[in-house]
């Protein structure tokens, strides 16, 4: 809640955490708190939870709310906390956003309602309803058309931004770079925009983005912090060096459906007890593991140290 009154502080590398599960599929709250503490020790500028990387659609609203409370307690206002609280159902979105507000989050990340393919006017009404229900909570749209089958238009973002004081930004997980540009052109530099596409994090900063919400920061948080800090310092050579250096780890995460490969890395490195993913996802196949190990070796220098945060004090061989 410390940053709720000034959402412009939600900038830099915001890690969208993977939700750890036990080997039998329950939410691993101790593992989640460990990931939060490791991220903050790595210098991460903020925490998100419950985006696509967090497997929200496989969890109940009760489970998601409990995970938000666990993360909020672990964060303890040390950095901004912006969890995903959206669903395809409006009542669930309002219920989870209310729980997140009560847990002390700094902003709510609301995904566009998926599967139904609403019109732009319907999207406007959806976000209007949420913004009016929580006037004191910063609301951020989460645009990820590859998963939702709907793309919130720059003009719709601009309407919401100009009509509601607490509609403050958008996480753009689209590879349409023109879309980024039109959003910022229509809204101006005060709109908060984060890239959710790993290899567009650095380019979006050049257009006026305030930060990055990259799945790869789950396994390489220090590198993402350094990339952002290099950009801010004007060290473009260093920022580009990290950007290109991270390519193998980005490719690793998407060998099979995210977050299964990333959870495998976290388990191998001893940061979580199990790499379990809930159906319909499965853990990596043998063929996938061969490719993942190749990418892991190529990007190994960008993995972050895990000393002091491994389960039982060790990591497994091969990672």
Binding-site entries: 53, 213
Residues 85 and 64: their CA atoms lie apart, in Å, by: 8
Q: Is 228 a catalytic residue?
A: no
Element (H, E) at 124: helix 120-133
CA distances from 115 to 79, 99, 106, 215 (A): 33, 24, 28, 23
Write down the number of H helices and E strands in the chain: 13, 7
Bridge partners, 47 (sequence order) = 15, 81
Kindly state the tokens that stand for 93: 């979105």
CA distances from 196 to 78, 98, 114, 133, 219 (A): 23, 24, 17, 26, 15
Q: Is 171 a catalytic residue?
A: yes
Q: Is 294 exposed, middle or buried (0-12, 13-18, 19+ CB in 10 A)?
A: middle
- Determine which one of 11, 124, 127, 142 is catalytic: 142
Kindly state the tokens that stand for 27: 């939410």
Residues 218 and 200: their CA atoms lie apart, in Å, by: 17
Strand pairing class (108-111; 46-49):
unpaired
Question: Is residue 280 reached through a cis peptide bond, with omega within 30 degrees of 0 on the bond before it?
Answer: yes
Bridge partners, 195 (sequence order) = 172, 212
Which residues are known binding-site members for pyruvate?
Answer: 53, 213
Question: Is residue 259 reached through a cis peptide bond, with omega within 30 degrees of 0 on the bond before it?
Answer: yes
- Determine which one of 161, 171, 228, 302 is catalytic: 171
Catalytic residues: 142, 171
């Amino acid at each position: 809640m410390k940053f709720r009154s000034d959402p412009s502080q939600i900038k830099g590398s915001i890690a969208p955490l993977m939700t750890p599960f036990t080997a039998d599929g329950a939410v691993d709250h101790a593992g989640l708190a460990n990931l939060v503490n490791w991220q903050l020790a790595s210098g991460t500028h903020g925490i998100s939870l419950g985006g696509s990387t967090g497997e929200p659609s496989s969890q109940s609203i009760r489970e998601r709310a409990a995970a938000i409370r666990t993360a909020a307690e672990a964060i303890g206002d040390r950095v901004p906390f912006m969890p995903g609280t959206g669903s395809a159902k409006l009542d669930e979105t309002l219920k989870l956003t209310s729980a997140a507000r009560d847990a002390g989050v700094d902003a709510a990340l609301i995904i566009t309602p998926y599967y139904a393919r609403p019109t732009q006017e319907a999207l406007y009404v959806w976000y209007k309803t949420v913004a009016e229900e929580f006037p004191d909570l910063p609301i951020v749209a989460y645009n990820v058309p590859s998963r939702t089958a709907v793309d919130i238009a720059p003009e719709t973002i601009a309407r919401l931004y100009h009509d509601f004081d607490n509609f403050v930004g958008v996480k753009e997980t689209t590879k349409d770079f023109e879309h980024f540009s039109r959003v910022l052109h229509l809204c101006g530099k005060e709109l908060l925009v984060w890239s959710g596409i790993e290899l567009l994090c650095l380019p979006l900063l050049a257009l006026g983005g305030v930060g990055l919400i990259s799945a790869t920061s789950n396994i390489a948080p220090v590198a993402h912090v350094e990339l952002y800090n290099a950009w801010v310092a004007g060290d473009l050579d260093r920022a580009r060096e990290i950007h290109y250096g991270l390519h193998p780890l980005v490719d690793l995460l998407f060998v099979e459906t995210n977050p299964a490969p990333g959870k495998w890395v976290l388990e191998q490195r001893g940061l979580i007890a199990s790499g379990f993913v809930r159906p319909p996802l499965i853990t990596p196949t043998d063929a996938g593991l061969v490719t993942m190990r190749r990418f892991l070796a190529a990007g190994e220098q960008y993995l972050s140290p895990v000393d002091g945060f491994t389960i039982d004090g060790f990591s497994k061989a091969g990672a």
